[in-house]
Every structure is written in C-alpha cells, then in structure tokens.
Structure 1
Amino acid sequence: MKQSTFDAACSGGESGGIMAKWNIDVAGVGRIVGEAGRTAGHFEGELKSISSHLESAMKAAGTLDFGGESQTPEVGLVGMTLGQYATAQQSDLAFIVARADKSLQGAVDATEEYNKGALDMAANAQGEALKAPYIDLDSPEKKGAK
C-alpha cells in the first residue's frame, strides 16, 4: 500500500514556522469512503420504510367518527400523534443523511487536494532539479556551481 508524505509549513507566529506532517493513505481513504457511502446509501431506503410503517401504524391505530356527514372518518388520536412525530423527525432524519453525504464528500475533496498538493510539490522539485545550474567562477565566497 503506497502512502504519500506531505510536509506543509504552517504559520507559527513569532516563533517562526511550525512544520506539520501529513501522511494520508489515499487508497485507504477511498476504501473507507466507499464503504461509508454504501452504508449511507441505505439511509434513503430505511427512511422510506420508516415512513411507510408510520403510515400503516396511523391507519391501524383507529379513527374518530363523529357521526356527521363526513364519509371519511378522521385519523384517531394515536394516528395524529404518530403523524406529528413523523413530521417532527423528518428534518432531523434529513439532516443525518445530508451530514453524512457532506462529510463523505469533504473527505474525498480533502484527499484530492492533498494528492494534488503532493503532485504539485513533486513537479516543482523536479522542475528545480532540471534547471541549469548557475556557475559563478569569479565569486570570492565559493568557486563552482550553485
């Protein structure tokens, strides 16, 4: 398993720079994000299942029939409470799905930027290595190539 190492200089205030060392297993991140994504993909199906079961429970919980002209009896107290519960929980459940999606995408984006940074640094180092050396034979400090 190939790992990349990325050294980034971070601002260290008056004490100078602090060197942060990153060592990310890009393939490992890909595997974990893939597994987590498959698991998160099941959320939508589970949410539909919960919704279907709540509807079924609302219907099975009985109705209120006031004996009036309405041919469709009103949802009973238990059914009404289940409906209110489902409505109240809907935003929380949607948040969980959105949070998981955003977290996974953030891991992918961060890993891509890490990889891009490592490639950029390698390209810069290679470019510097390929530059012609500067020779100053008249320099009193050092004779030879710099």
Structure 2
Amino acid sequence: MTGWDIDVAGVRGVLNKSGTAAKSLSETGSAMQGNLEEAASAAGTLSSQYGPYTSTVGEVGAALGEFLQHWSRDLLYIAKRTSRSLNGAAEATGYYIHGDLELAANAQRQAAKEPKVDLPGASEHGRRTEGQ
C-alpha cells in the first residue's frame, strides 16, 4: 500500500459532484415510482358486465405495475452501490489524510463489496444479491 498518491482536493471535488448527481438520481427514481403508480391508476380498470360487478386493474396499469416490480431491485441496487462507493471513497481518503493506509485500504475493500438488495415480499431468482 506504499504507492498511494491521492489528490485530496480532486477527490473532494469529484465526491461533491457525484453526490449531487446521486441525489438527483434518487429524487428521479422516487418521482418515477410515484408517477408510475399514478399512471397505472389513471389508466382505467376492466369491469365485468356479468356481475358481481367488480373492477380490476386494466392492461396498461398491470403492465406498469409489472415494469415497476421488475426494475425496482435494479434501481435499489444502483442506489446502494452508488452510496457505498461514495462513502467508501470519502472514508478511504480520510484515512489517507491521517496517514493510515491500512485503514484506507480496508475502507476501499469494504466499499467494493457487492451490496445486498432485499425488497419487501420479493423473492426473485436470477437477480442481484450479495456475493453474486
């Protein structure tokens, strides 16, 4: 670990810009979720003319719900990965400033680990999970 040569001011600049972009991405993801739910409910329902007269989500609403369910895990993964990377870079740089390259390397290793993504009630096979 003796070969570290970090431009601390440069790292801070990149972290500030990346943090701003990550916040914007998070806000966009939250807005998208709300917008998809609103669009799904506004897309109409299917009703049976033969009673009992119940309505179910229409085809467009169902498709939007499936889209959101399918991509939620990936969007959460991106958010967790981004947060872990930014925090790890900041932590490693802090240790570097204080001259503790061992802790800096450990922070870097921890930040590089795969994040675990758990959605409530979700159990999909073939999607990202820790260690895969």
Normalised to the residue count of structure 1, the TM-score between the two structures is 0.61
Q: Distance in 2 between matches of 1:23 and 1:92?
A: 34
- Counterpart mapping for 1:44-63 below 5 A: 44-63=26-45
C-alpha deviation, 1:96, in angstroms:
0.6
More strand by share: 1
- Counterpart mapping for 1:1-146 below 5 A: 8=2, 21-67=3-49, 68-70=51-53, 73-117=55-99
- Provide runs of 4+ in structure 1 moved above 4 Å: none
Q: Distance in 2 between matches of 1:80 and 1:35?
A: 38
Give the paired residue count. 100
Q: Partner amino acid for 2:62?
A: M
C-alpha deviation, 1:83, in angstroms:
0.3
Gaps of 5+ in 1: 1-6, 9-20, 120-146
Q: CA RMSD in A?
A: 2.0
Gaps of 5+ in 2: 102-132
Q: Distance in 2 between matches of 1:118 and 1:45?
A: 36
Normalised to the residue count of structure 2, the TM-score between the two structures is 0.67
Greater Rg over alpha carbons, structure: 1
